[in-house]
Amino acid sequence: MIEEYAIVTKCAGTVATLEIERRTACGLCGQKRGCGNATWGKMLGHDSHDFTAENQINAQVGDSVVVGIDEHAVLNSAFYLYIVPLGGLLIGTLAADYLFKNQFYVIIGAVLGLVLGFLWVKGHLIGHDKSGVAFSKKYQAVILRLAEDDSPENHSELVN
């Protein structure tokens, strides 16, 4: 299970909207020197993105939680996101080349195949109703526990 810390921004039934708590590995963001991530952040804004997760622990708005997703689902998603559009591109290219024998139509067929591949992946992984809830439960993030449960005091009790 891949885990990350997030803040609950909205609750609706058994689904919560979350925002990832932004953290850096080196702590140099905001300084004038470093790896360049701060420069990209200033240019692009480091906007946070909301996402939905199953709220099995009944977390409330403002709670800091640990959210998780199965690592096999992440690997499957990456496979779908790369292979299906690429396959659509190749099929669109070959079909247009076979049907039209014109390079312009081959390019249009390739782009159309690529776009249809991405749309299929989006519909398969995210769902068609735009609710943010995944089509398959294995692709849906789940709130595992409150972040306060990960405090150092709780870990010292487990060690002793």
pLDDT class of 46 with cuts at 50, 70, 90: low
Distances (CA, A) of 150 to 100, 103, 106, 120, 154: 61, 59, 55, 38, 7
Distances (CA, A) of 130 to 121, 122, 135, 141: 14, 10, 10, 16
Find where tokens 């140099």 sit: 28
- What is the pTM (predicted TM-score) of this model? 0.62
Percent of the chain with pLDDT over 70: 68
In this predicted structure, the answer to whether residue 85 has a pLDDT above a threshold of 90 is yes
Distances (CA, A) of 137 to 63, 151, 160: 23, 29, 37
pLDDT of residue 155: 46
In this predicted structure, the answer to whether residue 160 has a pLDDT above a threshold of 50 is no
pLDDT of residue 118: 92
pLDDT class of 94 with cuts at 50, 70, 90: very high
Percent of the chain with pLDDT over 90: 26
pLDDT of residue 80: 87
Task: Kindly report the average pLDDT of the chain as a whole number.
Answer: 79
pLDDT of residue 156: 44
30: exposed, middle or buried (Cβ count in 10 Å: 0-12, 13-18, 19+): exposed
